Structure 1
């Protein structure tokens, strides 16, 4: 909502027709500008070393001429009549008559003049050019460019030298000409004059107007632009959106190219119901560090009683010392802060790091050397509360110091790990009145200093058909509380040993299903873990949480993440997996897995509010994935309770992707007693409905002009019988321009949602006007493909003359 993420559209506005004309006239292959779907302009590391320009070798190239009749005087002049041609390097001049004065190095071409310069073609009635100096003019030229098949015409092109040129009364479009004397392109750019300076990689246009369907829609009295991949400061195309809360949103970005390794984008946004939001982004890329700073400031938000709203985020990464003898060190910063609790709800489309309710602020210093690593960290949280759904803020870590040493095959195949950590846990009390959040959970735990040490040793035994991995762990921790517990304790110590044994077999056999040959496997696995009971329930919990129950965690020693709870276990996990593998490529065509835990005694160590785990048999996990055919894929996981004979949690997903621009995906997710949702996403040509299958032009090329595409994603809650999030859109490909309209609904709270309507026109090879509809589609629709995304640059030999 706030800032235009895709600066490629900005660059295209500046680059075309400029970069295309300049590339064709001056440096044909190096300055074609950015493609429609490229990311933001790349920063170049500092210091930037500019290479010396090699001396012009044009005069050393041989010159070839041919024609029906050739006459002249040696080393003085040459005259060619009929099918005349002059070739030097990558430049070919053809005409009915061509005169070449060698002392002046002057070529004069008359009648049906055609220049092919590295695949870019120019045609006109008269050319006069000093070939070596590249000075002269071309009257009434018509031009077509290799990169995107764009073309135009002008009254005159004046070549000042091989680096500079001026084009008079120029036009530019990518709409292909059709039969008919009155045909006009759907869109066309006209400019009174275009001045190009390849040495500075800049250009300027005066009196430019963009017309669409015969209607002038974007007058630009003066315009400056880059000619190559060198970025250029200047105004960017405006973006327009319609939001159900903020009203009409108009963003007028300005791009500031500070240096090759630094740039900034200012994006003031007018929101008719709120006011003016001042947004900015600054990027830097130095030799030893890089980062991004983003910020927004909205003074006097009219929808929030004149409250000033702001958001800030910063990311910084910096290697500090990179010497083999002393190891490597680095610094990382991740800062996120907003003005108030409602920021995530009101500005859900701003920087993604600011749209969460838990905003992390991290600073870490790291050092590593030959398996040893040390780190220091400070982490603080900003918690954005919601009166309908309050949450407990996590504990800050100020500081956290960690040391770790890991070695594989240290001695006779033994792997070892030693880890030590000291953390000072503090709690940031939300600065909100208690009457605003009466249901907010209270925090009764004291702040504390916690130190833990983890020592682990294992000895893997394995071969191609089996593996056995015994492992022993010792986890000890010490607490010093800043205030006494309910038991009166101000310190506490816990030491917990753990032993585990992981083992498995792998059987293989050739098999045949559905007329295809496969290699089928059967992989039974057994995992035993024993951890004796050590009383920990009386202790506070600062960072532990229950691990998700899935195939990744069912074969682990501890049911909890973090270090405040080490579960007492005496259990055996049994499972098996069977796969169908392609015997030629090894690709997995299908997989079926099952696993269950057998508990031999109750688990007494629990999280606060959790009951003792007494079931002897855990829920069953079933998992399967199938991709027999390239266009179809499906996967699912079911957590089944054999006692109640009910599914506790289920996830099933299916995807059909028969070709480019054709994808439908559906997912069903259910968690008993909490949620049940259906998620559907798609991109599909609507022309298929009336039998028009289009052309397979490949990815990034669309399927031909005159095509309609439907795009969307719907997340529907079956339990609440309401749409949670939804995106519906239409795209139209006219060949030389694309049109998009997208309706978006995003849930912004328990009872609130934001709605937007996005319009966008993309003029192929020129620019995009409107809102950021393309970015919304790419972020939300699985496997969405751009209708225009050139991945390769055409070779000049594809249009060799």
Structure 2
């Protein structure tokens, strides 16, 4: 503060003595701190006594608490507790009728109704000897229960090696909960000479083991391992068995390798009775700056096709240090999908590419800096041809480089600039002529699109005028067959005006209050005609007529065709909004285009649009409650008085494990004057059969089912009304036996016009132990909307959930 100001302040208020001023400030600060402390919420303090896992270096220094009816002994030598004896140290509790504790040896001996709780794991029996600090000792005639997965059993003796490892001798093991009635026996039981349990690794290993399920026993196994929790572990997984109409009888013997917490690998050799042996492997990794997965399959001498078969599928994501380059972000990704031959998609229907016939091999680098962003990309396709229905391969982009600039609210204006350089490589002239009927050379294309708009916005209206300039330049590797040119340019301007209004009112329907809107919208676009018939078509296609594209400037996707337009789109939307939550309960919309001039720009072999009035687009989506929803779109031709396309779907999901979905789809044949087109019905479901006789189960929480003894029907059927046949289908049954689950699923996949693949999947899942058979989990999840698995991995319970 300058001297003049300091002197003026002194004249207005004489200075206080320094000590008085300091005391006043301290008093004010203490009062403020006390008031702030009263207003601050209470926060629990951390304490090492509540840690989930007690460090080994702290176990020996933790205090021991002894309690009982009668206590005797000598200080620092031994203590004897009789009657309701209890000894607690850290995460270990011992209760017994009699308890002797010898301090020099740190050894406890308990007899009579001994109960031990060690970090939530329970052991009970008549006699125990244990060193508390190292947790070394033995337990005779013991019953035990593990916290992580609820596994339990009994043994003649349990030897504790340390706080994590124990060996049960002449032991049994199951995850079935005991029932309170005479003669109860678990549905499945493991008997073994020894069971070594490692609660740190959450792995159990049984020797001379035999499994009994529903009274049927397996041959003895020299050794087998099983999980004690949902954590991953290395080892041989149970075999996967299935029956396939193409492959025959299938047996897979997978091996899982838990390399590290962020890396793992799976080897899954598969024997197919009709084809041979398929060698498969999958590797996954997750790092702070990159992640990905690699899968590779190889089948030498496939007897079905009389040749070697292979496939590789990889995906990698990478995050780079953008700050070092002066960028905001810099990321990359790499995907490789390749197979040995054209028939791979039909013969191997359960690969990562499923039944896709276009396999993309894509490497891309993305960057952003302020208002700029861009990509550098290389994209190549492998096209799997099928003689009855060949497809035209898309053009490869080797490379593609883009740079985009977006500036919003620049003095009230929004400006954007999109640029793209691509070099296209096609499938060759013979393939083009055979499949498309015309030939175009490979070439380079430079594309730029600049747009400037000025939004005028109010709470109830919007008007957005926009001008666009589209400029494109081509350089061809060979002369065009249409005019012999080796280069071409195109510049197309566009003007559009988007406007609308939003009205609101309070409404009440079916006893429920809503905020109802009425949103009329008008969208006008004018693009003058530019002759583009001689230009090649590398990536353009006609946009589908839908609510997503009806309010756009260009009738084509891609950058090779810019449609000439002089049209007005009119539409109106009404919504029902819950005023308390803001959730949209229903939406209804209608739109139609009015064309003032014929559309002249078309795709190769295309037909220009001359109708002055387009089809009427009707749409509705109803989400009245979270339990059910209806979604429908109808494209109605007012001239023909019929629908050219209809899609209606509905879903009902009243709760977990209960969902039904249905869809009807119709698409008219544009090449035929008749109304016959593609018609199909798609139905999917998961539903407890026990509901039919009033057994509605219990809510046991996510991923735990609804109780034992319940049947579930699962399936999805896609039926073609046009061909009067089932195209794809899944039918199955699931049974939840509480500690075991049985599944039988039949899947049919269409792989061609007259060919299909059918397989039967059987699976027996011993909950918390192992699964035998072919898992239909992936099939059910992909085919049934909101399918809920009867068991899902969850977080391991805390030791305090089973605290004595």
Note whether the superposition's TM-score is higher than 0.5.
yes
Which residue does the alignment assign to 1:444? 439
**Residues 781, 787 of structure 2: 8 Å contact kept:** yes
Give the C-alpha shift of residue 443 in structure 1. 5.0
**Residues 703, 790 of structure 2: 8 Å contact kept:** yes
Is the radius of gyration larger for structure 1 or structure 2? 2
**Residues 472, 490 of structure 2: 8 Å contact kept:** yes
Which residue does the alignment assign to 1:564? 560
| Residue of 692, 697, 700 corresponding to 1:697 | 700
Q: Matches of 1:734 and 1:470 in 2, distance apart?
A: 65
- Structure 2 residue 596 is matched with structure 1 residue 595: no
Q: What secondary structure, in the 3-state scheme, does the structure 2 residue paired with 1:742 have? A: strand
Give the C-alpha shift of residue 419 in structure 1. 1.8
Per-residue CA shift, 1:247-283, capped at 9, x if unaligned? 0111111123344443321111100000001111122
Which residue does the alignment assign to 1:547? 543
Q: Superposition pairs for residues 654-665 of structure 1, below 5 Å?
A: 654-665=650-661
**Residues 227, 769 of structure 2: 8 Å contact kept:** no
Which residue does the alignment assign to 1:316? 316
Q: Superposition pairs for residues 728-747 of structure 1, below 5 Å?
A: 728-747=731-750
Q: Matches of 1:652 and 1:310 in 2, distance apart?
A: 41
Q: Matches of 2:626 and 2:335 in 1, distance apart?
A: 40
- Structure 2 residue 701 is matched with structure 1 residue 669: no
Q: What secondary structure, in the 3-state scheme, does the structure 2 residue paired with 1:132 have? A: coil
Q: Matches of 1:376 and 1:516 in 2, distance apart?
A: 53
Which residue does the alignment assign to 1:423? 422
Per-residue CA shift, 1:643-695, capped at 9, x if unaligned? 11111111111111122211111011110124111000011111122232222
Q: What secondary structure, in the 3-state scheme, does the structure 2 residue paired with 1:303 have? A: coil
Q: Matches of 2:206 and 2:438 in 1, distance apart?
A: 64
Which residue does the alignment assign to 1:38? none
- Structure 2 residue 702 is matched with structure 1 residue 678: no
Which residue does the alignment assign to 1:41? none
| Residue of 644, 650, 657 corresponding to 2:646 | 650
Provide closer, same or farther for how the CA distance between residues 374 and 634 of structure 1 changes in structure 2, counting only shifts above 3 A: closer
| Residue of 726, 729, 740 corresponding to 1:726 | 729
Per-residue CA shift, 1:592-646, capped at 9, x if unaligned? 1111111111111111121111111111111111222332211101011111111
Q: Matches of 2:55 and 2:62 in 1, distance apart?
A: 15
**Residues 392, 443 of structure 1: 8 Å contact kept:** no
Give the C-alpha shift of residue 708 in structure 1. 0.8
Q: Matches of 1:200 and 1:297 in 2, distance apart?
A: 33
Give the C-alpha shift of residue 62 in structure 1. 2.4
**Residues 681, 782 of structure 1: 8 Å contact kept:** yes
Q: What secondary structure, in the 3-state scheme, does the structure 2 residue paired with 1:345 have? A: helix
Provide closer, same or farther for how the CA distance between residues 202 and 798 of structure 1 changes in structure 2, counting only shifts above 3 A: closer
Q: Matches of 2:219 and 2:501 in 1, distance apart?
A: 69
Q: Matches of 1:230 and 1:736 in 2, distance apart?
A: 18
Q: What secondary structure, in the 3-state scheme, does the structure 2 residue paired with 1:670 have? A: strand
| Residue of 749, 769, 773 corresponding to 1:770 | 773
**Residues 211, 218 of structure 1: 8 Å contact kept:** no
Higher relative contact order (CA 8 A, sep 6+): 1
Which residue does the alignment assign to 2:142? 141
| 698-707 or 674-683, larger mean C-alpha shift | 698-707
Q: Matches of 2:596 and 2:95 in 1, distance apart?
A: 91
Q: Superposition pairs for residues 42-441 of structure 1, below 5 Å?
A: 54=55, 56-196=57-197, 204-217=205-218, 219-223=220-224, 231-304=232-305, 306-323=306-323, 326-327=326-327, 328-351=329-352, 353=353, 355-409=355-409, 411-429=410-428, 440-441=435-436
Give the C-alpha shift of residue 287 in structure 1. 4.1
Provide closer, same or farther for how the CA distance between residues 301 and 124 of structure 1 changes in structure 2, counting only shifts above 3 A: same
Which residue does the alignment assign to 1:714? 717
Give the C-alpha shift of residue 175 in structure 1. 1.6
**What is the number of residues matched between the two proteins?**
747
Provide closer, same or farther for how the CA distance between residues 679 and 177 of structure 1 changes in structure 2, counting only shifts above 3 A: same
Per-residue CA shift, 1:351-405, capped at 9, x if unaligned? 2x26311111112233321122232222111111111101111111112122221
RMSD of aligned alpha carbons = 2.4
Q: What secondary structure, in the 3-state scheme, does the structure 1 residue paired with 2:778 have? A: helix
Q: Matches of 1:689 and 1:230 in 2, distance apart?
A: 37
Provide closer, same or farther for how the CA distance between residues 29 and 167 of structure 1 changes in structure 2, counting only shifts above 3 A: farther
**Residues 171, 188 of structure 1: 8 Å contact kept:** yes
Which residue does the alignment assign to 2:510? 514
Per-residue CA shift, 1:307-328, capped at 9, x if unaligned? 1111111112222332176113
| 775-784 or 226-235, larger mean C-alpha shift | 226-235
Provide closer, same or farther for how the CA distance between residues 237 and 125 of structure 1 changes in structure 2, counting only shifts above 3 A: same
Q: Matches of 2:732 and 2:231 in 1, distance apart?
A: 35
**Residues 390, 441 of structure 1: 8 Å contact kept:** no
Q: Superposition pairs for residues 463-474 of structure 1, below 5 Å?
A: 463-474=458-469
Provide closer, same or farther for how the CA distance between residues 477 and 218 of structure 1 changes in structure 2, counting only shifts above 3 A: farther
Which residue does the alignment assign to 2:489? 493
Q: Matches of 1:237 and 1:105 in 2, distance apart?
A: 43
Give the C-alpha shift of residue 87 in structure 1. 1.6
**Structure 2, unpaired ranges of 5+:** 1-48, 670-676
Give the C-alpha shift of residue 425 in structure 1. 1.2
Provide closer, same or farther for how the CA distance between residues 443 and 91 of structure 1 changes in structure 2, counting only shifts above 3 A: farther
Give the C-alpha shift of residue 468 in structure 1. 1.6
**Structure 1, unpaired ranges of 5+:** 1-26, 32-52
Which residue does the alignment assign to 2:18? none
Provide closer, same or farther for how the CA distance between residues 795 and 199 of structure 1 changes in structure 2, counting only shifts above 3 A: closer
Per-residue CA shift, 1:419-464, capped at 9, x if unaligned? 2222111112499xx9xx9974445111111111111111222232
Which residue does the alignment assign to 1:45? none
Q: Matches of 1:715 and 1:230 in 2, distance apart?
A: 38
Q: What secondary structure, in the 3-state scheme, does the structure 1 residue paired with 2:785 have? A: coil
Which residue does the alignment assign to 1:40? none
**Residues 176, 187 of structure 2: 8 Å contact kept:** yes
| 578-587 or 453-462, larger mean C-alpha shift | 453-462
| 116-125 or 515-524, larger mean C-alpha shift | 116-125
Per-residue CA shift, 1:454-490, capped at 9, x if unaligned? 1111122223212221111110111112221221222
Give the C-alpha shift of residue 752 in structure 1. 0.5
Q: Matches of 2:357 and 2:639 in 1, distance apart?
A: 37
**Residues 29, 118 of structure 1: 8 Å contact kept:** no
Which residue does the alignment assign to 1:17? none
Q: What secondary structure, in the 3-state scheme, does the structure 2 residue paired with 1:344 have? A: helix
Q: Matches of 1:659 and 1:201 in 2, distance apart?
A: 33
Provide closer, same or farther for how the CA distance between residues 138 and 148 of structure 1 changes in structure 2, counting only shifts above 3 A: same
- Structure 2 residue 609 is matched with structure 1 residue 604: no
Give the C-alpha shift of residue 565 in structure 1. 0.3
Q: Matches of 1:208 and 1:784 in 2, distance apart?
A: 36
Which residue does the alignment assign to 1:641? 637
Which residue does the alignment assign to 1:5? none
Which residue does the alignment assign to 2:782? 779
Q: Matches of 2:201 and 2:760 in 1, distance apart?
A: 41
Provide closer, same or farther for how the CA distance between residues 165 and 177 of structure 1 changes in structure 2, counting only shifts above 3 A: closer
Q: Superposition pairs for residues 452-491 of structure 1, below 5 Å?
A: 452-485=447-480, 486-491=482-487
Provide closer, same or farther for how the CA distance between residues 378 and 267 of structure 1 changes in structure 2, counting only shifts above 3 A: same
Provide closer, same or farther for how the CA distance between residues 703 and 244 of structure 1 changes in structure 2, counting only shifts above 3 A: same
**Residues 377, 399 of structure 1: 8 Å contact kept:** yes
| 388-397 or 452-461, larger mean C-alpha shift | 452-461
Q: Matches of 1:443 and 1:354 in 2, distance apart?
A: 31
Give the C-alpha shift of residue 196 in structure 1. 4.7
Q: Superposition pairs for residues 615-626 of structure 1, below 5 Å?
A: 615-626=611-622
Provide closer, same or farther for how the CA distance between residues 145 and 234 of structure 1 changes in structure 2, counting only shifts above 3 A: closer
**Residues 338, 354 of structure 1: 8 Å contact kept:** no
